[in-house]
Every structure is written in structure tokens, then in C-alpha cells.
Structure 1
Amino acid sequence: MQERILADFGDDAVDLEFSYSERSGRALVRFVPDRMLTERVEEVVANALAIPLLPELSDCRSAALGDELACTLPAHAPGIYEPAELENPFWIVAKKVFNFYTTRLLMPMRLRPYWTAFNVAPLIFEGIRNLFQRKLNVAVLDGAAIGAALAMRDFSTAGTIHLLLDISETLEDWTREKSRKDLASLFAGDGKPVWVLRKGEEVQIPQENVAVGDLVVVRAGARISVDGVVADGTAMVNQSSMTGEPLSVKRGIGKEVFAGTVVEEGKIVILTEGVGDETRFAKIAQVISDSEAMKAEIHGQAIQLADKIVPFSFVLSGVIFVITRNWMQAAAVLMADYSCAIKLSTPLAVRSAMLESAYFGALIKGGKCIEQLSKVDAIVLDKTGTLTRAIPEVVDVCPVNGYSREFILRNAACMEEHFPHPVADAVVRKADEEGLIHDERHAEIEYILAHGISTTLGGKRMILGSRHFVHEDEGIDLDVADAQIKRCTDTGHSTLYMAVDNELAGVIALEDPVRDSAYRFIRRLENMGMRRIIMLTGDGEASARTVASELDIEEFYAQVLPNDKTELVDTLRAEGYTVAMVGDGINDSAALSHAHVGVSMKHGADIAQETCDVMLTSERLDSLIDSMSISGLVMKRIRRNYKFIVASNTLFIGLGIFGFITPAVLALLHNSGTVLTCAYSMRPMLPEQ
């Protein structure tokens, strides 16, 4: 939060610049140099934030830039961006084992049973509580196992089981925290102060006090802490943490840079556009952090199946006791359960996959999306902005019916500048290059989805859009422009049509080159076994055929409207395909939501990015391939984990039933297997690039 405040100090009014970071709990106040006002400013800040004055503001300091008061305020609960150092799990286990056996050694023999009963009582009560709630789950199983040991007066086994369950729970928490910390380390800043330009001079300020509009200076070897545009200088920037590409890229004036990337060579000045929680990295991190609300279906199925096994454990234990009359052998069945490892390893595997996919440039919005992505066998690709570079250029402007070239280009730019779309940007850019001033002289703009734009200029209705919109919907005669239209369409160029008062005024031809990586991307999809690869475009037949031919795409459709895209996706779903739709425009949003997996490009419209299930955070089409590979591998890993958990615990139960191992050893093996499964779940799925 940042704002300017006119503070009233009785006879004086002081202009203050106040900024406060909720995440870090730090406030910064800047004002005209006047040391006598410092104490008054402290009082204002303290009263405004409702905190004690002297203790909490004791860390305030004044800086050389005028008077600058930086205060550390009470800390908030640690969040994803403030990862604490994790203790080595070996020492965690060692301390618990040491404390357990030291206590037993030093405690009088008569007190040990009572001490053990006191420690295990919460687990027994938890089992009883679940039983009264008519739940027969793992908590009941654990309580029964410990209760059986106490009933046999085997306090040593009861205490050991409690220790192992405590260690297992602690290590489960550790693995969750490790996953969270890995996420934080990828997306958090390094916490170092940032150099910004103030009145032409470089000044160092805390990272959390950087605001939108600041000019941030970054030199070789430093990490970029903000999202923004290069305002000055040139540098080689390593964007591997954002895009997955190992080679640094050149970034000069006008180019975007992102928080979390590193300047390897050179020096740049960045005009800040996003800070803190508003950076692209922070938003990606938040999506991954919140993703547990979108559990994979296989996760729910595994947990349900695991809980269903619990009653059979009790039945089997009873049968063993009836046959053997041996409490120890009957209790052995209760010492191992299947759901403990499943409940932990599955979400850890999913989260690790999301984190790895984000590293390779594709943000997956939850476990459900991963599961669907692993099954995709039909993909629908929007041409413009997906297979093409999304930076089309105006290559020709053809006026007709007495209108001038300048009139067409100027007014087209005036209408298009309201809409964030690659084609609109191309028209506006061309007008700017030719020095055409496109001031607001028209009435309110009306956007007609996937058709075009309509407005009123000088009492005349003006429209700009596709051939379908202008000719078929509006009924405007295009015969007068046959030669110009043919000249554009025969070369595969896209066309925009402008009409004024039901009369064609001109045609604008645009060229959008195919991405360099598009051909390889299509071939990789084929190699993955994709059954259907379909290209859609709102452009004419000639333009669509040119791109399809260049990329060797056999199935394509031209002059497609939004409802046509949605109908195609629905048709594919009805035919049994698992469909991914890749698009970037407002007109793609409906199809994105209808597909099993909607994929939006980095430059996509806000509604497309909101609707999608997967968002590519870089221009790499291969990021989608990587995310599909990761999704397939993590689903295999989850199924492999499930087989291992069932097989190993069944083996342990069998050994316990036949008396080869004691209940305490069985509990040790079971919990050790859980920890190993979790560690395996967090391993990377793709090799480092």
C-alpha cells in the first residue's frame, strides 16, 4: 500500500509519502527534511497502525534522502514468501528417540506404565471419538493398536508405537513444509535491498518498499525483484526460473522482465509494473499454494479405498485371535494401515508436479487439471497467437470508395486501441509508426464478440472486423474490393474490413509469422500419441491453409466463430476424446471452459487466463508438452506408490500374523515405508534442462 498524506500538525501541514507492506510488516514514511517533525511523524504512524509507540518503533531510522523513516512493525504469521530454515530430519528423529529412551531410563519402573498411558491417551480418545461418530478410519485403527498393547500390559510396545506414530507425523509435517519451502525458494525474492532512482541518483531501499512506477536498477549478478519493462540499458537475463529455458536472453528498452530472473551481463533500469504479491511469480506461487482445494480424483479414490480397508483389518485381527488365541499375533494386524502413506504421498506428488511444471513454464491450477492433462488425446489449437508469434504486422492498407489510406489506418487504430489483442496492437503500432494521431473523436466503442468493433463517427456508423461480420452479418457489398481482397488472401494474409454507413471503406492486410518452435511442437504432439490435432482460426481459408501446410496439420477449420469452437470441443468430448483447447483471446474463453483442459497463452486476455486450467507463463509452446509429460509421469508415480503401499503393508501384516516380527517392529517398518514413499513422491519427474 502506498499513498500521499497531508498530515496536519496544528499550525503546520506536512506532505508525507506513506507506504506499508502487510506481508513484511514494514512501513516507510518520506517527508521534506525537518528533524523536529520526526517525532511527530512517529506518533502519526504509531497511532494510525494502533501499535505501542516506543518498543515497536525502536528500529526506526532516518535516511539521507530528505527525511525517511523506516519502521519494522509487529511481524505477521510467516507466509509462503518467508520460508524458515528447516531442521535436518535426521536430528528431529534422533532427538525424539533420545528423549523417549532417556525418559524411560531415568523414570522409576513403577511410573513407566502411567507415563506411557498418559502419552498414548490422546490417540485412544481420538479413536473412540471417531468410533462414536460412526467412523471406522485410521484414527480408530491406531487407537485400537495401542489399546491392544495396553490390554496385554505390553507398555513397552504401546510406548514404541506412540513414538513411531509421533515420528511419522513429525516427518509428514516436515515433508509438507519441505514442499512449501521448495516452492518459496523458487518464487521468493532474495530479500536484499533494491537500488532505485530518486531524483536522478541511485538510492538503496528495502525490497518490500519498492512501489509501482519506481525505476529499479539491476546490475550483473543481481536478481530482479519486480515485474516491469526495461526503461534503459541492455542486459542478458537468465529466465530459466520463469520459462525453463537454460540460455539467457537479451533484454533491452521496451522488453518485459520478471521477478525471480537474474541479470547475467549488463545493467538495466526497470520501470516497475508489479511488486510483491502482484508479480507473476507471486501469483503462480499462490495458485500452487492454494491448489490443495482441487484434489485429483485418484487421490480421493485412493483415500476412500484405504479407509474401506480398515474394517477388514479388524475382521482379520479377530479371525487371527479366534484361530491362534494369541493377542500378539492378532494385534500385529492392527499395527499397519494403508491410508497413512496414501493420504500424504498423493498430494505431495501432485504439488511437486505442479511446482516442476511451473519451473518449465506451465502453471497447472490443481490436481484435477493434472489428472485430465495426463489423459489428453485430442488437442484444439487456435492459430493466431498460439501457433503464430502473436505479433502480427500490418503489411497493406487498401482504401476503396474514395476513402484515404490515412483515414482507414487512423480510425482503425482509434477503435482498436481499446482492446488488448495482438491484431489490435498491430494496427495501433502501424498508425504510430506512420505518425498518425488517433485522438478520441468517436462515440462509445461496442465490441461484438469474435466479429468486430462498432462505433459512431460524425453521425455515421463505422464498423471494423472480419469478412463474416462485415459481409454476412452486416450485409455490406465487398465486390468493389475484389482485387484488393484477392491480393491479400492469395498470399495467406489475414484481413480486416472497415465500413462506414453500410459502405466498404477499406481493407487492412496483416501478416502473423508462424512461431519458430511451432513445427517441432506439432511433431512432439504426434510422437506423444495425440489422436487428433486440430487448428482453428477466424481467418479466411487461404490464410488457414497456408499455416496448416507449413506445419503439416491435416485437420483445420477457417472462419470459425466462438460458438463453432465450443461445438467442436463438445463434439470431440461426445466422441470419447479427452480434449485440450489452447487459445488466448476473449473469443476462446467459452471453448476453454468446455474443454477437459483449457490452456491459455502468456499474452492471453484476462478472461482466458481466468478460465483456463493451464496457463503458459512463457512463449515456449514446449512448456505445454513438458506439463503433459509431467502429468503423465506423476499419475504413474501415484499408482506405483499405491501398489507399493498395499504390497509392503500386506507383507508386514503377514510377517506379524505368523510371528516373524513383533508389533513394535511392524509399526517401525510401516512408518518407515510411509516416509520413504513421501520422499520418492517429491523427486523430480523430468531431467534438468
Structure 2
Amino acid sequence: MKFQQYIEKHANQITLLTAILIVAGYLSKYALGSMPGYNVTLAIASVIAVIPIFIHAFQALKVKVISIELLVTIAVIGAFIIGEYNESAIVTFLFLFGGYLEKRTLSKTRESIKSLTEMAPTTALVVQDDGTTEEVDIDDVDEGDIVLVKTGASIPVDGKIVEGQGYTDESAVTGESKEIAKNVNDEVFSGTIVSDGFLKIEATKVGDDTTFAKIVELVEDAQDTKSHAEKFIDRFSTYYTPAVLILAIVVYLFSQDFKLAITVLVLGCPGALVIGAPVSNVAGIGNGAKRGILIKGGDAMDTFSKVDTFVFDKTGTLTKGNTAVSAVKSYTDDLNQTLALTAKVETLSDHPLGRAITAYAGHHQLEFNALPITDNTTTKGQGIAAVVDTKNVLVGNQKLMDANGIAMTEPQVADMKELQSTGSSVVLVAVDGQLQAILGVSDTIRPEIAEKLSELRKVGAKHLVMLTGDNAATANYVAQQVGIDEVHAELMPEDKVKFVKQFQKDGRRVAFVGDGINDSPSIATADIGIAMGSGTDVAIETSDVVLMQSSFDALVHAYGLAKNTVRNTKENIVIAVGVVAFLFIGLLLGFIYMASGMFVHEASILVVIFNAMRLIGYGKPADQIGEMAIEPAK
């Protein structure tokens, strides 16, 4: 075991020593005219170089796997038997050197993960009871501790600011490079940088529970999750490698040409085929990770590339989600009292419409917090009925009013339709059996949506669908503005799931784009679930793709990246199979030999790696392609 560890540790030095001995051997032959020196030197080079190859072959055989290394080891033994020391030395050197280059280039594709992990802080300044600070290991920070973060330092915990203000660079989490202003009560994430100012933060999540830690773990797991192509190649190579060994035996039995049989072993090595798919997968996922796009593995990448139908939630997805009361229709002499009662009822809800109404009441300095609620009932998909300050209050949609026998006059119905026609969501308020107000709540449509949905179509989307719990008039208005093909409104969560299942029955590949919380049933049902932003635990854990920026730029990039990654994988498979075919044809025609075949074989491995590395630069401006360090998306 110690010997194996020593060999592994010094693999690069063994490769270099082999190269020096090969050069010395050729100098001995051509400069000094010494054939014994030539043969002995190359034989020593072969023995030294084959040791790490043999160790890998032996370890594979112990678990009943016939590996590439076994083919090379047998080929070297065969070369020794026929006295072709130059062939064995060159083959082993090229194999080791190819492995060295493979590791170097693969490390480039994993650089996004390395950069992410290096951003993770290892210590924290914890504020003590007497106001002093103590630097402690990050593992010793507990929830509820107050940590101090100064300018230029990395935030070590997820938490809430309790003192101070400043600007943070959240590109490690969101991929967005702009600095974010932070003040008291704002939330911050571990791994982000305080670019200016100082913050005292109460820790709400520490260690492996932080958003940043989960992102790093997710991307690392994703890069190890195999795609359909990788799984197929694994199964294929399980049978292919023994088949090459059998072919070499058959060739020898028919030709009685031992050298030819050994050459078949070398040329049949499926190195490029084995490495081609994984390196594309790693490069594609790494590209997404450094832009705040988390794609959960090769399977998700493969399925995402085949999506033809995008299904969107409306609020917070196609719209910004920062709703505000934009119109009030009053049918009472005391509007302020009605609004106060409404706001109190909405304190029972965390719906964006409810938050907009409570914010509106607060802005107009209406006193509602002290009003007593003695009874309340929430009806899913309709609204809330409550007894507030002895008054029976209904706050919700028309279904709630109809269910409780609240009649609307023609002017009131006209007012409601007028608000809906402008894209406003409507909230109806009835007090003691009478409709007293209709509130129009508007949510701003994301300004870039129409353009980005058009780009999504160009990449390959065929059907764009909106499923929303909002009323039909508002939903149709938004759909018209942004270019949605199909709209279904006034849906409850289970209704959205039914539509997703129906699309799948119709033969569509469906991606559901939502906020990762309210739409989690639909996200789980769709072929690909996409969570837009927020960085919440639910968003990270329930969806296949997480867009930390909550931007449609990121959605278009992710979709294009998936298609390019799968295409790149197929290119690598074609290259690998094509090279093997070329080598065998060359062997039959007599212009490919053992050493030259190994050279082409190792070159093909580098070709597929470099082809995959093009994915690292996907989506970058031309002058940035080739830069390997993590850079936030511009």
C-alpha cells in the first residue's frame, strides 16, 4: 500500500524520468552508436513507466474489471518478449504523459468548484458579551452568535444584519456582479464579500447548513452525477475492453503475428470514449455554476436539452413580484376603516397581494395592528374570512364572494373588469355582508421578458405556457404583453399539476419555471423543475435547475448551455469512435504501428478534452473566452 501511494505521489516524476531515459537511449544509438546502451536504457524506461500502469491494472482486476491499463501492461510484456523495447518505452511514456495532460486539463474544467470552495471563509470574528471580538474557527460558530464582518472580508454565516451598513458582492451565490446595498434587518449569505462598510450579523445558519455550503455541495454532486451518455459508455466499455483483448488473441491465432496482436491491444484502448462524456458534463455544469446557474447533474442536463415546453408561474416569475396597490374602488362612507380591517385580515397571509395591502395601509398610517381577530378561516384558492373587531370581513376573489352570498352590482362588476383589463389583480372586500371595496394590485412585468422569451424560442422552445392562480383577465393581459402562447388562469396548485401531466401525456418535454416554494408540486412533476432565485433551501433542494439571480438571461443561458453540452458530448463520442476506426484501418493498410497508434490515441484524448473545454467559455464575450477563473456573468 505504501509503495502504491509512493508511486501515485511521484507519477509526474516517473513520467519525466521515462522521457529522459528515452532521449538518453536514442542518443546512445545515434550519437554513440551503441545498440546495447540503446536497448538497456529503453528497457529500463519501459520497466519504470509500466509500474504505475500495472498497479492500476491490478487494482481493477481485483474488482473484476478489465481496464485500459491492463491492455497496455500486456502490450508492454509482449513488446519485451519480441524485443521491441523502443515500442514499449514510447507506449508507456505516451500513456503516462497523456494521463498527466488529462489531469491538468480536467482540473481546468473543475476550476469553478475550486474557486467556489476557496471563497468559503474558515474563521469568523464573533462578538463577545463585553463587546470585544474573538476570532474562532468557522465550525465553532453557533446559531444566534453575532459576527463582525469588515470591508473586504467574507461573510462566514447566513444571517440577519443587526448593526451597520455596507455593500456586498453576492456573485458567489447569484452570479450577479453588481454590489448590493445592505442595511439593518437585511439578510446576507455565507461566502459573499463585504466590499464596503462593516456589518454585525446574527447567525441564522452556520457550517454545512448555509446556502453557500449547499451550493458548493450541490455543484460537486452534480459534476459527479452521470448523464445518459456516460452511463451508456460505462456499460459499453465494460464489454468493449474485454472484446479488444479477445480480438487480439484471435488476431494472433489467425496471423501468428505476435507484434500485430500486441498492436491491436494498444490501438483498441477506448480512452477518448471513456473520458469524452464526463469531461463535457463537468465543463457544462462548471460554466453554469460560475454564473449562479445550478444544474443538478448529467441527467438533468440531458433532459433539459430536450425540453420543448416551458410552463411559467406569473407572480414573481414573469412579473417582479413586488406588488403594490395601484387602484381603490370604494363603496362605503368610511374607506379608512374598511382598509384597516382588510389590512388586519391580510396579516394572516404571506401572499404577495396581502403584503401589498398591509404595506399600503401602513403607508397611509392606518391603525390596524391593534384590531382583535376572534375567528378566521382560509379557503385555498379563494381568500380569508375573519371576524375583526366584531365585524365579519371577507377578503379574497369573486369565488369567495359567491360562496358567501355577497351580491355585486353591475357598476361594481364593471369596476372589477376594468381593473382586470389593465393587468391588475383584484381583491374584493366585504364587511358584514356588503361589498365595500375593490382593490387593484399591480405587479410590474419584468421589462426584459418579451425579448428573452423570444430568445428562448430561438434556442429551441416550441411552447410557452402560463399557469396562474390569478384571474383570467390579468393573466391574458400579461401573456399578451410578453408573448405567451397558452394561458390557464384561476388555478389552484393541484390544477397546475394536472396541466403539467396533460402536457407530458401529449408527448411534450416540460420545464416548469416557478419560485421553488409555492409551485413545488408542479416543479416536482415536470420533467425539469426550474426555481427562479431566492436561494432558499426549498428552491435548492426541490428543483433540477436553480437560477440564483432570478433572471431570464440566466434561463436562456442555462437552456442553451444544456443543448450545447449534450451536443458537445455527442461530438466527443463521434471523435473517439472515429479515431479507433481510423487506427484499425491504418493498421490494416500498414501505416499505423504500435507507438504511432498510441500517439494518435493519446492525442484523441486531448482533442475531446479541449473540445469539452470550449463549454467553459460558452456565453462569454469573445475577448473573455479562454479565461478559466470564475467570473460573474456580465
Could you say whether these structures have the same fold, taking a TM-score greater than 0.5 normalized by the shorter chain as the test? yes
* Bigger shift: residues 503-512 or 668-677: 503-512
Q: Which residue of 1 aligns with 2:119?
A: 189
Identify the match of residue 374 of structure 1 among 305, 308, 312: 305
**Equivalent residue number for residue 558 of structure 1:** 489
- Whole-Å separation in 2 of the counterparts to 1:149 and 1:505: 96
Alignment partner of 1:514 is 2:514: no
State the distance in 1 between where 2:204 and 2:518 align: 27
Q: CA RMSD in A?
A: 4.3
CA offsets, 1:152-210, max 9 Å, x none? 46566556655554555565555565555540312443647555655685736246155
Structure 1 or 2: larger helix share?
A: 2
Counterpart of 1:376 in structure 2: which amino acid?
V
| Counterparts in 2 of 1:585 and 1:677: CA distance versus 1, 3 Å | closer
Give the Å deviation of 1:352: 2.4
Q: Is the 8 A contact 1:296 1:370 kept in 2?
A: yes
1:405 aligns with 2:338: yes
Encode CA deviations 1:131-166: one digit per residue, 9 max, x unaligned.
xx6x76646645553454455465665566555545
Q: CA, structure 1 residues 97+368, in 2 after alignment: closer, same or farther (shift >3 Å)?
A: same
Structure 1 residues 602 and 652: alpha-carbon distance in aligned structure 2, compared to 1, 3 A threshold: same
Deviating more after overlay: 247-256 vs 111-120: 111-120
**Aligned counterparts of 1:165 and 1:662: Cα–Cα separation in 2:** 15
Q: Which of 323, 326, 331 is the aligned partner of 1:392?
A: 323
| 1:526 partner SS | helix
Q: Displacement, 1:400?
A: 7.0
Give the aligned partner of residue 352 of structure 2: 422
1:273-672 counterparts in 2 under 5 A? 273-292=204-223, 294-310=225-241, 313-314=244-245, 316-318=247-249, 320-321=251-252, 324-337=255-268, 339-395=270-326, 404-406=337-339, 408-416=341-349, 419=350, 421-430=351-360, 432-433=362-363, 434=365, 436=367, 438=369, 449-452=380-383, 464-468=395-399, 470-471=400-401, 474=403, 476-479=405-408, 482=413, 485-486=416-417, 488-497=419-428, 507-584=438-515, 586-603=517-534, 607=538, 609-672=540-603
Give distance in 2, aligned partners of 1:681 and 1:115.
Answer: 32
Conserved 8 A contact 2:276-2:573? no
Report the 3-state secondary structure (helix = DSSP H, G, I; strand = E; otherwise coil) of the residue aligned with 2:191.
Answer: coil
| Higher mean displacement: 202-211 or 116-125 | 116-125
SS, match of residue 495 in structure 1: strand
Q: What are structure 2's unaligned runs of at least 5 residues?
A: 1-7, 26-36, 625-633
Match of 1:93 in 2: 12
Q: How far apart are residue 541 of structure 1 and its match?
A: 2.1
> 5 Å matches for 1:77-88?
none
CA, structure 1 residues 676+101, in 2 after alignment: closer, same or farther (shift >3 Å)? same
Q: Which amino acid aligns with 2:531?
A: S
Tell me the SS of whatever aligns to 1:284. helix
Counterpart residue type for residue 412 of structure 1:
V
Q: Distance in 1 between matches of 2:188 and 2:301?
A: 28
Distance verdict in 2 for CA 1:272–1:116, change over 3 Å: closer
- Verify the 8 A CA contact 2:164 2:198 in the aligned structure 1: yes
CA deviation profile, 1:383-434 (whole Å, cap 9, x unmatched): 1110111121234566879994255334323311xx4x43343344445544
Displacement of 1:299 after TM fit? 1.7
Moved more, 182-191 or 137-146: 137-146
Assess, with a 3 A threshold, how the Cα gap between structure 1 residues 271 and 635 changes in structure 2: closer, same or farther: same
**CA distance in structure 2 between the aligned counterparts of 1:439 and 1:520, rounded to whole angstroms:** 47
2:205 and 2:96 mapped to 1: Cα distance?
43
TM-score between both structures, scaled by the size of structure 1: 0.73
1:160 to 1:422, Cα distance in 2 relative to 1, 3 A: farther
Contact 2:459 2:559 in 1 (8 A): no
Q: Aligned equivalents of 1:175 and 1:224: distance in 2?
A: 32
Provide the secondary structure at the position in 2 that maps to 1:619. coil
8 A contact 1:189–1:225 mirrored in 2 = no
Query: Cα 1:608–1:500, aligned 2, differ >3 Å: closer, same or farther?
Result: farther
Q: Deviations over 1:514-545 (max 9, x none)?
A: 12322332222233242111222211122112
Q: Deviations over 1:41-73 (max 9, x none)?
A: xxxxxxxxxxxxxxxxxxxxxxxxxxxxxxxxx
1:22 matched residue in structure 2: none
8 Å contact from structure 2 (residues 157, 189) kept in 1: yes
Work out the CA distance in 2 between the residues paired with 1:647 and 1:529: 29
Aligned mates of 1:100, 1:348 — CA distance in 2: 27
Unaligned runs of 5+ residues in structure 1 are 1-88
1:365 maps to a residue whose letter is: K
Aligned residue identity for 1:349: S
- Shifted more, 550-559 versus 615-624: the winner is 550-559
Q: Is the 8 A contact 1:583 1:604 kept in 2?
A: no
Q: Tell me the distance in 1 between the aligned counterparts of 2:588 and 2:101.
A: 28
Residue 191 of structure 2 corresponds to residue 260 of structure 1: yes
State the alpha-carbon separation in 1 of the partners of residues 142 and 444 from structure 2: 37
User: CA distance change for structure 1 residues 253 and 549 in 2, over 3 Å: closer, same or farther?
Assistant: farther
- Who is 2:28 aligned against? none
The one-letter code of the counterpart of 2:353 is V
Distance 1:519 1:555 in 2: 15
SS in 2 for 1:600: strand
Structural mapping, 1:668-679, within 5 Å: 668-679=599-610
Alpha-carbon deviations, 1:610-647, whole Å to 9, x = none?
Answer: 33211111132211111111111111211111122222
Deviations 1:434-493 (A, max 9, x none): 46454796589776554545777799997654434x156x45434266466446434432
- Contact kept, 8 Å, 2:326 with 2:441, in 1: the verdict is yes
Q: Is the 8 A contact 1:562 1:588 kept in 2?
A: yes
Deviations 1:2-26 (A, max 9, x none): xxxxxxxxxxxxxxxxxxxxxxxxx
User: Quick check: 1:195–1:202 contact (8 Å CA) kept in 2?
Assistant: no
Q: One-letter code of the match for 1:205?
A: E
Give me the whole-angstrom Cα distance separating, in 2, the residues matched to 1:631 and 1:119: 37
1:548, distance to aligned residue in structure 2 (A) = 2.0
For residues 225-249 of structure 1, give each alpha carbon's deviation from its aligned partner in whole angstroms, at most 9, with x where no partner exists.
4434455555444433433334434
Structure-2 change in CA distance of 1:232 and 1:119 (3 Å): closer
Q: Which moved more, 1:622-631 or 1:105-114?
A: 105-114
